[in-house]
């Protein structure tokens, strides 16, 4: 494992191979890597008695080391690290295989859709010609001077058809156009799937599949597919249940000839692989040795364990603790809200429902900026001291001691000369995206590029960065000035694109922004400080992570309301947020297109009845109340993450009863929210203000991400997320320093007799950058200490 091959590469380094961008060749490379890992045998037997969190920790510890460093470790620990790394590498390999398969299937479908559109455009001229010919025939038949004898009329029609290409050509053109009518692009999939055929079959053979429901029709179809993988003919013999497929698929897969049904091999293959991709995403099919695509049910807390804590949990969140009370509470809540909004409609000047039943909201007017606020901002710009970024990091570490969390993953002493200095320089280097080599050239020989790189990889992890961020947030939360901006009870979440390299599985082309990249998904408190961030692919529905950011936030600042945009919501997310005691209040684009649900079919409203298009299925919720509570208690106790659940619930499933239950509960909660949204202008203004803060944070944090053309120059997914965390740490440190400096300015002004208006102070933002120096030589003087924070914590008015 630790011996070099003829290519000077150890098998140990091969364990750390990263997946490249999705392509057929790279999928084949992953299959070869998976086969190589399989040669080590079943590793799970050796780690089954080790806590899963420890297995992951040991694997991370081994991953950041090189072969030489591993050789120096004592034998027992070395074997433990290698076994854990092997186990996690195998699980990650399966994840990478399946993720790349999903992306290739998505590409195949996209190419078929694009081809259909291209064919339609090509057929447009032909369609126009056919319509023109048809018009000539109709005009001939309606002409008063047309021949009297039917035979002569027929001959005239035939002459017209011949002049336009002849009967056979016209019929052929009609068949070509009708073959692609509607949006059915399925017949076009084969041409793009064909080159992937052998690779997909190898993938299916390389993974161990099972259904997470009692419905095994897809698994049976996959087995039938494998049994016939050697076939090259047009038809497949045998029987297979395809009742789970859509009518569109069945039309092209099942063909009847001479009263005998046959299976068309080519469309059958594409159909089954397409459904496999769909059910893999929804969790209806799982892969035994995979982490992300494993059986999520096994991560849930057993119901008998749930029963021991359900009463306390429901009491904590003031939720009914049985199905009947739960249904009654929800129904009463929906009835009360809808009735109140209906009664208040005549005096509600903010919403108008026209004769067609279409609602429209009046646009909220921006509040004018007062002259006193403009004057205060000018004074601040004049008095706030100039700061160097590296000095800001030093000051904030002095106040919070956040660098205490950094060090080797093994927990041993850092063995660094001036570790605090080295950690601060590393944070500055990667938080500003300078890169080790570029930063070292500006540090006057204090540290070299190799040292910065080693500290980043071996001393600072995502978990350690999160703990450092938590220290800054906790200290910030006791300062007086941020209390003017928010009470700490709400946050907003939104994503912004960062450019990344292309040779990885995360990078995707972003249609709206252009270029390859990923999404930094930030949670920002109403006090302006960033609470948590994820780095996710561009195609990910952001709502998957909107709750996870709050749940992963371990600071003393614990918002119970979360705002977002259209991407930050769905019915399952509304349901899960309610069960977790979180109020989801997003700003939804085209909210008028969403369905409002009545408490029951018989309920009719005087003014707002046209908003409602359907009613709630309360029996579905009653039936699956235990399933809902089992999931939320599993998240509450840390057995499974909200993101893992929402990834499964974010994809439509015809089988998954859990999806249907969460969707139904979400319909109740979202309807209540929408009713409040259209009737309360103050609420809409609050939501807009919150989402504006997180959007402002995007620009603020990117201002510090100025190195390397603002491109994250790593193909390592974990390293990409670390860069975002580093950047958050730098941004939060600047916010902290700005609040301290603003407090000093305000105290000076009050000493001088200047009247500070609370409204003006509340309208300010700590996202100030004009006084900060980003460029030049970077060095630290740890002997200099900033002002004692206790002297600046309180503002009096």
Out of 292, 309, 337, pick the residue that ends a domain: 292
Out of 679, 696, 728, pick the residue that ends a domain: 679
Residue span of the structural domain in which 322 resides: 295-347+595-679
Look at residue 60 in the predicted model and tell me its pLDDT. Answer: 94
Residues 30 and 103 in one domain: yes
Look at residue 2 in the predicted model and tell me its pLDDT. Answer: 65
Look at residue 154 in the predicted model and tell me its pLDDT. Answer: 82
How many helical (H) and strand (E) elements, i.e. helices and strands, does the chain have?
Answer: 32, 18
pLDDT tens per residue across span 630-687 = 999 999 999 999 998 998 887 666 677 888 999 999 999 999 999 999 999 999 999 9
pTM confidence score? 0.90
Examine residue 741 and state whether it is found in any structural domain, yes or no.
yes
Which residues lie across from 712 on neighbouring strands? 500
Out of 653, 679, 705, pick the residue that ends a domain: 679
Look at residue 350 in the predicted model and tell me its pLDDT. Answer: 85
Report residues of the chain scoring pLDDT below 70.
Answer: 1-8, 651-654, 776-779, 791-794, 797
Look at residue 49 in the predicted model and tell me its pLDDT. Answer: 86
Residues 280 and 300 in one domain: no
Length of the chain: 797
Q: CA 313, CA 318: separation in Å to the nearest integer? A: 8
Look at residue 4 in the predicted model and tell me its pLDDT. Answer: 62
Look at residue 412 in the predicted model and tell me its pLDDT. Answer: 85
Query: Strand 260-264 to strand 254-257: parallel, antiparallel, or no bridges (unpaired)?
Result: antiparallel
Examine residue 685 and state whether it is found in any structural domain, yes or no.
no
Residues 384 and 338 in one domain: no
The crossing angle, in degrees rounded to 10, of helices 24-38 and 197-206 is 30
Residues 633 and 664 in one domain: yes
Look at residue 649 in the predicted model and tell me its pLDDT. Answer: 83
Residues 70 and 101 in one domain: yes
Look at residue 177 in the predicted model and tell me its pLDDT. Answer: 78
Residues 654 and 730 in one domain: no
Examine residue 495 and state whether it is found in any structural domain, yes or no.
no
SS3 assignment, position 491: strand
Look at residue 516 in the predicted model and tell me its pLDDT. Answer: 83
Which residues, 6+ apart, have CB-to-CB distance to 381 below 8 Å? Answer: 770, 771
Residues 781 and 723 in one domain: yes
Examine residue 514 and state whether it is found in any structural domain, yes or no.
no
Q: Is 403 in contact with 423 (CB distance < 8 Å)?
A: yes
Closest CA relative to residue 248, chosen from 220, 274, 280, 222: 274
Residues 466 and 377 in one domain: yes
Residues 42 and 106 in one domain: yes
Look at residue 390 in the predicted model and tell me its pLDDT. Answer: 92
Examine residue 193 and state whether it is found in any structural domain, yes or no.
no
Q: CA 27, CA 32: separation in Å to the nearest integer? A: 9
Residues 218 and 274 in one domain: yes
Q: Is 797 in contact with 413 (CB distance < 8 Å)?
A: no
Which residues, 6+ apart, have CB-to-CB distance to 267 below 8 Å? Answer: 186, 187, 189, 190, 249, 252, 253
The tokens for 164 are 């336009």
Which residues, 6+ apart, have CB-to-CB distance to 509 below 8 Å? Answer: 515, 516, 538
Examine residue 194 and state whether it is found in any structural domain, yes or no.
no
Residues 229 and 323 in one domain: no
Examine residue 689 and state whether it is found in any structural domain, yes or no.
no
Tally of domains in the chain:
4
pLDDT tens per residue across span 745-779 = 999 999 999 989 999 999 999 999 999 988 766 66
Examine residue 418 and state whether it is found in any structural domain, yes or no.
yes
Residues 341 and 427 in one domain: no
């Amino acid at each position: 494992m630790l011996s070099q091959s003829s290519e000077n590469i150890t098998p140990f380094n091969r364990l750390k191979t990263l997946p490249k961008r999705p392509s057929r060749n790279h999928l084949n490379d992953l299959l070869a890597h998976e086969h190589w890992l399989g040669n080590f045998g079943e590793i799970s037997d050796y780690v089954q008695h080790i806590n899963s969190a420890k297995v992951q920790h040991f694997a991370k510890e081994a991953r950041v080391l090189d072969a030489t460093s591993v050789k120096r470790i004592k034998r027992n620990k070395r074997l433990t690290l290698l076994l854990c790394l092997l186990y996690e590498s195998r699980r990650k390999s399966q994840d990478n295989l399946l993720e790349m398969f999903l992306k290739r299937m998505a590409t195949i479908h996209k190419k078929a859709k694009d081809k259909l559109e291209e064919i339609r455009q090509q057929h447009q001229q032909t369609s126009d010609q056919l319509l023109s010919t048809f018009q000539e025939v109709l005009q001939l038949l309606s002409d008063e001077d047309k021949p009297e004898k039917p035979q002569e009329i027929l001959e005239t029609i035939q002459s017209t058809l011949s002049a336009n290409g002849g009967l056979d050509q016209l019929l052929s053109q009609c068949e070509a156009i009708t073959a692609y009518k509607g949006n059915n692009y399925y017949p076009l999939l084969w041409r793009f799937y064909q080159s992937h055929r052998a690779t997909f079959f190898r993938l299916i053979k390389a993974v161990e599949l099972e259904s997470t429901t009692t419905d095994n029709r897809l698994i049976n179809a996959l087995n039938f597919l494998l049994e016939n993988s050697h076939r090259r003919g047009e038809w497949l013999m045998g029987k297979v249940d395809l009742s789970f497929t859509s009518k569109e698929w069945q039309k092209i897969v099942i063909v009847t000839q001479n009263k005998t049904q046959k299976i068309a091999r080519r469309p059958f293959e594409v159909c089954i692989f397409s459904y496999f991709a769909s059910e893999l995403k929804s969790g209806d099919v799982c892969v035994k040795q995979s982490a992300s695509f494993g059986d999520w049910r096994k991560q849930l807390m057993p119901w008998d364990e749930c029963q021991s804590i359900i009463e306390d949990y429901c009491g904590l969140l003031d939720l009914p603790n049985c199905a009947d009370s739960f249904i009654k509470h929800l129904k009463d809540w929906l009835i009360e809200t809808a009735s109140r909004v209906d009664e208040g409609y005549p005096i509600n000047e903010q919403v108008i429902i026209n004769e067609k039943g279409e609602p429209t909201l009046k646009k909220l007017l921006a509040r004018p900026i007062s002259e006193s606020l403009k004057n205060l901002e000018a004074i601040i710009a004049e008095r706030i001291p100039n700061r160097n970024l590296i000095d800001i990091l030093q000051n904030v570490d002095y106040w919070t001691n956040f660098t205490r969390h950094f060090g080797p993953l093994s927990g041993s002493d850092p063995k660094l000369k001036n570790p605090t200095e080295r950690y601060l320089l590393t944070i500055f280097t990667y938080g500003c995206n300078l890169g080790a080599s570029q930063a070292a050239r500006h540090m006057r020989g204090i540290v070299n590029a190799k040292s910065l790189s080693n500290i980043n990889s071996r001393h600072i992890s995502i978990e350690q960065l999160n703990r450092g961020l938590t220290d800054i947030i906790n200290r910030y939360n006791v300062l007086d000035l941020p209390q003017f901006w928010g009470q700490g009870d709400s946050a907003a979440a939104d994503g912004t694109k960062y450019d990344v390299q292309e040779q990885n599985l995360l990078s995707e082309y972003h249609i709206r922004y252009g270029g390859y990249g990923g999404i930094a998904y930030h949670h920002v408190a109403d006090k302006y400080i960033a609470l948590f961030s994820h780095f996710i692919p561009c195609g990910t529905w952001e709502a998957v992570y909107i709750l996870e950011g709050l749940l992963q936030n371990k600071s003393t600042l614990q918002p119970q309301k979360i705002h977002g945009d259209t991407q930050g919501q769905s019915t399952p997310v509304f349901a899960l947020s309610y069960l977790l005691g979180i109020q989801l209040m997003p700003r939804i684009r085209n909210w008028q297109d969403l369905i409002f649900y009545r408490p029951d079919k018989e309920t009719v409203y005087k003014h707002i009845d046209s908003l409602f298009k359907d009613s709630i299925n309360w029996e579905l919720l009653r039936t699956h109340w235990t399933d809902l509570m089992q999931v939320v208690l599993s998240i509450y106790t840390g057995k499974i993450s909200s993101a893992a659940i929402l990834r499964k619930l974010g994809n439509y499933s015809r089988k998954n009863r859990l999806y249907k239950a969460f969707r139904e509960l979400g319909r109740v909660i979202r309807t209540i929210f929408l009713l409040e949204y259209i009737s309360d202008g103050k609420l809409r203004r609050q939501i807009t203000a919150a989402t504006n803060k997180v959007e402002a944070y995007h620009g603020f944090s990117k201002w510090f991400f100025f190195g390397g053309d603002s491109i994250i120059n790593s193909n390592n997914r974990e390293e990409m997320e670390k860069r975002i965390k580093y950047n958050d740490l730098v941004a939060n440190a600047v916010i902290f320093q700005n609040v301290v400096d603003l407090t000093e300015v305000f105290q000076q002004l009050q000493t001088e007799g200047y009247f500070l208006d609370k409204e003006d102070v509340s309208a300010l933002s700590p996202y100030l950058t004009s006084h900060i120096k980003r460029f030049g030589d970077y060095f630290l003087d740890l002997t200099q200490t900033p002002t004692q924070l206790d002297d600046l914590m309180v503002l009096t008015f």
